[in-house]
Amino acid sequence: PMPPPTPIYFQQAMSSATEDPAAASTFPAPKPKRTPLLRLELRDLSQPGTHSFFKHLSASNAIEDAVSGVLYWLYKDLPTHCIPSTRSVTLILRPMGGVAYTTGKDFDDDHKEIHFSTDYINGIAEGRKKEEMLGVIRHEMVHCWQWNAQGSAPGGLIEGIADWVRLKSGFVPPHWKQESDGDWDAGYQHTGYFLEYLEKTFGEGSVRKINDGLRGQKYKDGELWENLFGKKVEKLWEDYGRHLRNEKADEEAKRAKEEGEKKDEATSDSKSSEQTPEKITRSGGNIHYPRRGLGP
């Protein structure tokens, strides 16, 4: 039998340059103690999804920008020792079910692998391929650098932080929406928007504090949230739901007011048109009246 094809493999050290808009702001992305080695592995070059990846993205830029963006949102203004000691990140493009997942290598969890489905890439609408691929990579890159309370943090919180970083990075898919049904830790954008509410309510850096609260200790539901925000997470979730309902009511009231003003304006224009006297003109000493039976 033919041996399986050898994966094509590239690697490079992360450079100091970045194109990430967040990392390029006034506050540059923090630098970890160890510069991570960034790798790209291609399991099947013949896959249409592999072709699409290279058609729309520069692999080195996409991976470097993802690292810089994640470090910016999770560790800005924090000491270097707060950043995990991730030594390498390998992006693996391969055919598989699902979208993507991140894992550590068996021999050393400081070496991370992001497995990204070329089948999924191939199925993305052409007009959204670039943004969606960058969004998925940004989400998965968070898992390479975030804390997880020694494996005890709720999975929904871990996924919510990853989607919050994706949200802040500007890679929001059109199907995302804010909602307060269900539990706060349902994960992904459901929890991501809740975290964004906390960020806006309690100030910039709130999610950063949550992530740092998962460093070096087990997750304790009551302690984490009450120490940071003075309330149980369930109460914060209730407040978030009330906030969304108030926002929706305000939007509906604003829309009703605008529609009412448009109707009033249309009615006013109609009445004004009916009450405007018809023009009487003079020409050569003769008076010309509108034809409503008034003239000769």
For 84-142, write each residue's pLDDT tens digit: 999 999 999 999 999 999 999 877 889 999 999 999 999 999 999 999 999 999 999 99
Q: Which residues of the chain have pLDDT under 50?
A: 16-19, 21, 23-26, 279-280, 287, 289, 292-296
User: Is 188 inside a domain boundary?
Assistant: yes
3-class DSSP assignment, residue 135: helix
Residue 261: the pLDDT is 79
H/E stretch holding 122 reads helix 118-123
Q: What pLDDT is attached to residue 284?
A: 55
Q: Is 8 helix (H, G, I), strand (E, B) or coil?
A: strand
167 is a domain residue: yes
Written as one letter, the residue type at 106 is D
Q: Do 134 and 199 have their domain in common?
A: no
pLDDT at 289: 47
Q: Tell me, yes or no, whether 164 and 118 share the same domain.
A: no
Of the candidates 145, 161, 136, which has an alpha carbon nearest to the alpha carbon of residue 110?
A: 145
Out of 120, 145, 170, a domain closes at 145
Q: How much is the pLDDT for 7?
A: 62
Strand partners, 42: 8, 93
Its pTM stands at 0.81
pLDDT of residue 24: 41
Which pLDDT belongs to residue 280? 44
Same domain, 75 and 177: no
Q: What is the CATH number of the domain that holds 102?
A: 3.40.390
Let me know whether 141 and 156 are in one domain: no
Task: Provide the domain limits for residue 232.
Answer: 152-264
Same domain flag for 82 and 131: yes
Amino acid at 225: W
